[in-house]
Amino acid sequence: MSYLSPWIILLVGVAGGVGAVLRLYASRWNGKLPWGIFSVNVAASFVVGFAANAFAGNQDAEADLVLWASIGALVVVGFAGGLSTFSSYAAQTVEFLRKRQIARAVINTALNLLITPLAVWCGALLSPALLK
């Protein structure tokens, strides 16, 4: 991706900042599990699957390749990467373990490990239908 212009790279960072602010709001939704963080992880994974499939079909010429790589970097690396987080999952799961809430730690891990790839797959599967 080093062929992207410095401006695009800066915009990738800004998109990540926007994602982080949305995550800040979502993180307030907590119940027996950290549902807010789990939700943004699933939503961001869906966006990644959707974008990867949508942009893959739009790379005919070299100019298009750079354009779609730029948009892909903005959406996938920037926005979705900034929206989702692994470190908060780790913090919340370690906190469950320290409080001896083993079931919650296991369920939180299983949900993040299994549902986020499923969301990527659903995003890729639904993108042709949603882009019609």
Partner 1 sequence: MKITLRIIWLTFMGGTLGTLARFVIGDFTGQLLGLVLVNTIGAAALGWFNGDKRFDTPEQKAFWAVGLAGGFTTMSGLASAIVTWQQLIGWQVFGMALALFISGLASYYLAFSVAQERGSK
Q: What is the DSSP letter of 86?
A: S
Among 1, 102, 130, 131, binds partner 1 (CB under 8 A): 1
Residue of 34, 36, 45, 72 interacting with partner 1 (CB under 8 A): 45
Output the CA–CA distances (angstroms, integers) from residue 30 to 3, 25, 37, 70, 119, in the order listed: 41, 11, 9, 35, 21
Q: State the minimum distance, in angstroms, from the CB of residue 132 to partner 1.
A: 23
Residue 18 interacting with partner 1 (CB under 8 A): yes
Q: Which of 34, 55, 72, 84 binds partner 1 (CB under 8 A)?
A: 84
Task: Report DSSP letters for 31-68, one per residue.
Answer: SSS-HHHHHHHHHHHHHHHHHHHHHHTT--SHHHHHHH
Q: Is there binding between residue 44 and partner 1 (CB under 8 A)?
A: yes
Q: Does 93 bind partner 1 (CB under 8 A)?
A: yes
Report 51-70 residues binding partner 1 (CB under 8 A). Answer: 52
Task: Copy the structure tokens of residue 27.
Answer: 């993180």
Interface contacts to partner 1, rule CB under 8 A: 1-2, 9-10, 12-21, 23-25, 27-28, 41, 44-45, 47-49, 52, 73, 76-78, 80-91, 93-94, 97, 109, 112-114, 116-117, 119-121, 124
